[in-house]
Amino acid sequence: MSNITSENKLMQFASKLFLYGFVLIFVGTALILIANIFAEKHAGTGGVIIIGPIPIIFGGGEDFWLAIFVGAVFTVVSAVLFLLLRRR
């Protein structure tokens, strides 16, 4: 019985974490959009999407290389953390 309860709590936590992540992405995108509308100098945008072992890198604007670099660093850090925490 306690196993079912702990699985239920874990699913609730995972659902909340997914929702918080989605909200964070939405708010961040909205803030970037608002900043680009009101700014005189438009910012560069870029990102890294990992599908399996293949990274897809995209960007545009004046300083998009910085955005791509930060995205790549976060991707590597996330992958390392995933591998380290998976072993527990």
Q: What are the pLDDT digits (tens) for 2-51? A: 666 777 888 888 888 889 988 998 898 888 888 777 877 766 677 777 77
* CA count, 13 A, side-chain hemisphere, 78: 9
Q: How far apart are CA 28 and CA 65, in angstroms?
A: 19
Reported pTM = 0.46
The pair of structure tokens assigned to 32 is: 């970037």
